[in-house]
Amino acid sequence: MMQKRLKSRHYLTAGERNVRVLKIECPECGAKAVIRKTNRKHRQIADIYCSCADVECGHTFVMNLTFSHTLSPSAKTGDAMLQQLLSTMSPDQKQMALDLLKATPAA
């Protein structure tokens, strides 16, 4: 099977994609750490269970991963909200909204 070598010395096999991976460092020795388990508490909060890859260190620890803030809003958000709103409207309300949109001058 053909394999593609990456700079990180990780081999891709069939079906894998070249994606960025969260890099964790051991807080004790600074060596690379491996994520062993993720416990998602909420859509925006997770506990990440890690272990140091340095056999001599062997430190295991938990880190918290949280959402901070948006830099650029998703294009899907507005469309989904609009679609949900329109699905709850009666045909008369939809026609009224369309008439209001047609009457509003374009910016």
Q: Are 54 and 26 in contact (CB under 8 A)?
A: yes
3 state SS for 74-91? CHHHHHHHHHHHHHHCCH
Q: What's the domain count of the chain?
A: 1
Residue 45 lies in a domain: yes
- Residue range 35-83, pLDDT digits in tens: 999 999 999 999 999 999 999 999 999 999 999 998 988 877 777 788 8
Question: Which token pair is 35?
Answer: 């994520």
CATH number at residue 53: 2.20.25
State the DSSP code for 9.
S
The boundaries of the domain holding residue 46 are 22-68
Residue 75: CB atoms within 10 A of its CB come to 8
Q: Which residue has the tokens 């099977």?
A: 1
pTM above 0.95, yes or no: no
Closest by CA position to 14, among listed 31, 1, 29, 27: 1
Residue 81 lies in a domain: no
